[in-house]
Amino acid sequence: MLNFYIKTYGCQMNERDSEALACLLEARGYREVETETEADILIFNTCSVRDQAERKAIGKIGMMKMLKDEKPSLVIGVIGCMAQRLGSQILAELPQVDFVAGTDQLQNVPNLIAEAVTRHGRSAALEMGPGVFRELDGHRPGQLIAEVSVMRGCDQFCTYCVVPYCRGREKSRPIEAIVDEAERLAAGGTKELLLLGQNITAYGVAEARKAGTYTPEFSAFADLLVALNEVKGIERIRFTSPHVRFMNDKFVEAVTQLPKVCKCFHVPVQSGNDRILKLMHRNYTAKEYLDRIDAIRAKAPETLFSTDIIVGFCSETRQEFEDTHEVMRRVGYDMAYIFRYSQRSGTKAAETLTDDVPEAEKHERNQILLQELNESVARHNAQMIGQTVPVLIEGPSPRNPKRWCGRSDRNKMVLFDATPGLKVGDLRNFRIERSTENALYGTLDKS
């Protein structure tokens, strides 16, 4: 029996793909192992979103040459966004790599492995598009929180972003297939779903446009949430990432009213300045973004928001950056990923704009926003003291096994003393006694 090991870089979509691939390989008789050195087959699931992510993976795959010199039968495969983007170049420049498979080619990985093992051939499977991709729906057993991919690809073409090139056009799974997957997960003990899609609020949009049924009131994503809210055993539903352009009133109604949908939303803003938003091709103004946040808060006032921000995009002035800072103050995010703009070849920004904000200035802007974020998170956490919140119990804390941990419905890590009678997977109320920047400390509410 051959052992495999998958190393995953990048986003949750990649994590989910790695999980589904691991299940497929196990079904074909391969065995997953915990370390590279035990593996007969090494798979790198790569990310291209920023230059650093690609360099990290290339550095790591480069180092694998030594392992392969020691064990020539070792099979090395590269999958994911970087494989899609640079597939043939990877094969040409890294002789230790046996195969590359693009983002629509997951189901072909077992064939590529078999070919490398039996014929010692090197191959590339990079074809994308309709008809090529088959969704894999395997999950590792017994997960309290499970990721479910609902759509793939992106048709937005934000000017800085490689995703539309690496992941191809938007394609959504049928509602029934997703509900079926959720029911199977619930039967296996899953309590929380994390729905995934690069542009998740465009769920079903490409298909509706093709059928001529798309209108501004359309939100198949809201319909999907309504259907998943009915699945017995599933207690919580989260999703990532929506795009403001598709957050219409039907969406707002669903996410604020459905009881199982957690009232904390990741809504990427990228910039708070209208000229920059236009250059980024985001299709909304700062006011429109804030209006959607307000529409959600009007119906569910306790909602927490998180976001993605890019600082130092081409030609962004200090004043324009301050507009982003102002949006951060207005929303009071509870979490944010703040990125320094990284030029990616092949994108519209790389071809038509100049990456002219100096690295030191990008760094400074990043620091300013991190400071703002820390203050706003500390404020939120302090406000939680004295409140009682529902916590999905995850078990011993990885840092201190005497303590247990779980997440609140608003995605806050809550730590508490291990208490007899508490079980992993229980949903129990905790009273928050104190808070730090990273966590809340609570006691079980016995009432």
Q: CB within 8 A of 391, min separation 6: which ones?
A: 406, 407, 408, 414, 416, 427, 428, 429, 430, 442
48 binds ligand SF4 (CB under 6 A): no
Q: 46 or 198, CB closer to ligand SF4?
A: 198
CA atoms within 13 A on the CB side of 340: 17
**Pairing relation of β-strands 427-435 and 388-396?**
antiparallel
User: What six digits make up the tokens of 445?
Assistant: 């509410």
Q: 55 or 120, CB closer to ligand 5AD?
A: 55
Q: Minimum distance between the CB of residue 264 and ligand 5AD, rounded to whole angstroms? A: 17
Q: Position 186: which residue type?
A: A
The interface with ligand SF4 within residues 126-185 (CB under 6 A) comprises 154, 156-158, 161, 163-164
Instruction: Give the H or E element holding residue 306.
Output: strand 304-311
- Do 233 and 191 form a contact (C-beta atoms < 8 A)? yes
Q: Minimum distance between the CB of residue 198 and ligand SF4, rounded to whole angstroms? A: 4
Q: 306 or 376, CB closer to ligand 5AD?
A: 306
DSSP state of 266: E
Q: Which does 293 bind (CB under 5 to 8 A by kind): ligand SF4, ligand 5AD, none?
A: none
Backbone angles phi, psi at 125, to 5 degrees: -125, 100
Neighbours of 131 (CB within 10 A): 7
Q: Minimum distance between the CB of residue 390 and ligand SF4, rounded to whole angstroms? A: 31
Q: Minimum distance between the CB of residue 270 and ligand SF4, rounded to whole angstroms? A: 7
Q: Which does 199 bind (CB under 5 to 8 A by kind): ligand SF4, ligand 5AD, none?
A: ligand SF4
Neighbours of 438 (CB within 10 A): 10
Give CA–CA dist 130/127, Å, rounded.
Answer: 10
Q: 242 or 442, CB closer to ligand SF4?
A: 242
The interface with ligand SF4 within residues 78-107 (CB under 6 A) comprises none
The interface with ligand SF4 within residues 356-385 (CB under 6 A) comprises none
Per-residue contact flags (x/-) with ligand 5AD for residues 257 to 276, judged by CB under 6 A: -----------x-x------
- Do 266 and 304 form a contact (C-beta atoms < 8 A)? no
Instruction: Give the H or E element holding residue 256.
Output: helix 249-257
Give CA–CA dist 87/282, Å, rounded.
Answer: 29
Instruction: Kindly tell me which residue out of 243, 344, 365, 412 binds ligand SF4, with binding defined by CB under 6 A.
Output: 243
Give CA–CA dist 328/311, Å, rounded.
Answer: 13
197 binds ligand SF4 (CB under 6 A): no
201 binds ligand SF4 (CB under 6 A): no
Per-residue contact flags (x/-) with ligand SF4 for residues 213 to 232, judged by CB under 6 A: --------------------
- Do 56 and 9 form a contact (C-beta atoms < 8 A)? yes
Q: Which does 201 bind (CB under 5 to 8 A by kind): ligand 5AD, ligand SF4, none?
A: none
308 binds ligand 5AD (CB under 6 A): yes
306 binds ligand 5AD (CB under 6 A): no
The interface with ligand 5AD within residues 310-329 (CB under 6 A) comprises 310
Per CB under 6 A, which region of 66-74, 84-92, 322-330, 336-344 contacts ligand 5AD? 336-344
204 binds ligand 5AD (CB under 6 A): no
Q: 151 or 384, CB closer to ligand 5AD?
A: 151
- Do 244 and 251 form a contact (C-beta atoms < 8 A)? no
Q: Is the peptide bond before 241 cis (omega within 30 degrees of 0)?
A: yes
Per-residue contact flags (x/-) with ligand 5AD for residues 425 to 444, judged by CB under 6 A: --------------------
239 binds ligand 5AD (CB under 6 A): no
User: What six digits make up the tokens of 105?
Assistant: 């080619």
342 binds ligand 5AD (CB under 6 A): yes
Strands (E), 189-289: 192-196, 236-240, 264-266
Backbone angles phi, psi at 23, to 5 degrees: -65, -40
50 binds ligand 5AD (CB under 6 A): yes
Instruction: Kindly tell me which residue out of 198, 240, 273, 306 binds ligand SF4, with binding defined by CB under 6 A.
Output: 198
Q: CB within 8 A of 366, min separation 6: which ones?
A: 311, 312, 338, 339, 340
Backbone angles phi, psi at 8, to 5 degrees: -110, 130
Residues that bind ligand SF4 (CB under 6 A): 154, 156-158, 161, 163-164, 198-199, 243
| Interface positions with ligand 5AD (CB under 6 A) | 49-50, 160-161, 268, 270, 308, 310, 339, 341-342, 344
